[in-house]
């Protein structure tokens, strides 16, 4: 009776040692004996493990085309959904571009209104300046007559103070003090 290690069985099947070990644990296949710390299996156990791993490989290979078909169906459905989403986003993008263009036109119109208002304000200021210039000469003539009247009043007050000062200076020192 020949004994096989997990490594030997893995080489026969063409799988990794960990795959063989997982299959043995999953199917609860008991080992025949141990050599040191290495588990060994009999010829019958080896044949069961090899047959089981080959069946799994064949089943996996048979399922691959089905999985590919399923993934293709999912991919085509996903593609449709994504294409619909892209078209929705393009429509939203175009709508936003249209809104931006509309807002730009509104801003341009408002800027033109502001420029027109500035021109009108400038014209109003120029009119105010010209009317002030026209009014200033007439005010100057009124001001000159008022200045002349002020000078005359100032001169008469000055004369009155001079006369009072002269009378005071004529009094003697004792009369200035005692009255």
Q: Give the pLDDT score at 156.
A: 63
pLDDT (tens digit per residue) in 108-128: 999 999 999 999 999 999 999
Mean pLDDT, residues 51-70: 69
Mean pLDDT, residues 92-121: 94
Share of the chain above pLDDT 90, in %: 23
SS (H, E, C) the chain: CCCEEHHHHHHHHCCCHHHHHHHHHHCCCCCCEEECCEEEECHHHHHHHHHHHHHHHHHHHHHHHHHHHHHHHHHHHHHHHHHHHHHHHHHHHHHHHHHHHHHHHHHHHHHHHHHHHHHHHHHHHHHHHHHHHHHHHHHHHHHHHHHHHHHHHHHHHHHHHHHHHHHHHHCCHHHHHHC
Of 6 and 59, more confident:
6
pLDDT (tens digit per residue) in 115-165: 999 999 999 999 999 888 888 866 555 555 666 666 666 666 566 666 556
Region of 75 on the Ramachandran plot (φ > 0 left; ψ -120 to 50 alpha; else beta): alpha
Q: Is the predicted pLDDT of residue 67 greater than 80, yes or no?
A: no
pTM of the model: 0.35
Average pLDDT, the chain: 80
């Amino acid at each position: 009776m020949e004994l096989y290690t997990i490594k030997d069985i893995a080489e026969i099947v063409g799988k990794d040692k960990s795959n063989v070990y997982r299959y043995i644990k999953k199917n609860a296949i008991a080992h025949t004996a141990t050599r040191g710390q290495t588990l060994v299996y009999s010829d019958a156990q080896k044949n069961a493990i090899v047959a089981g791993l080959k069946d799994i490989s064949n089943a996996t290979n048979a399922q691959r085309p089905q999985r590919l078909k399923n993934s293709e169906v999912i991919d085509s459905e996903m593609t449709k959904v994504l294409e619909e989403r892209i078209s929705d986003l393009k429509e939203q993008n175009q709508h936003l571009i249209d809104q931006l263009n509309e807002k730009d036109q509104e801003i341009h119109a408002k800027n033109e209104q502001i420029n027109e208002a500035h021109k009108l304000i400038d014209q109003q200021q120029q009119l105010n300046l010209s009317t002030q210039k026209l009014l200033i000469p007439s005010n100057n003539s009124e001001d000159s007559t008022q200045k002349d009247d002020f000078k005359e009043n100032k001169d008469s007050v000055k004369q009155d103070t001079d006369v009072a000062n002269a009378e005071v200076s004529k009094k003697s020192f004792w009369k200035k003090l005692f009255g």
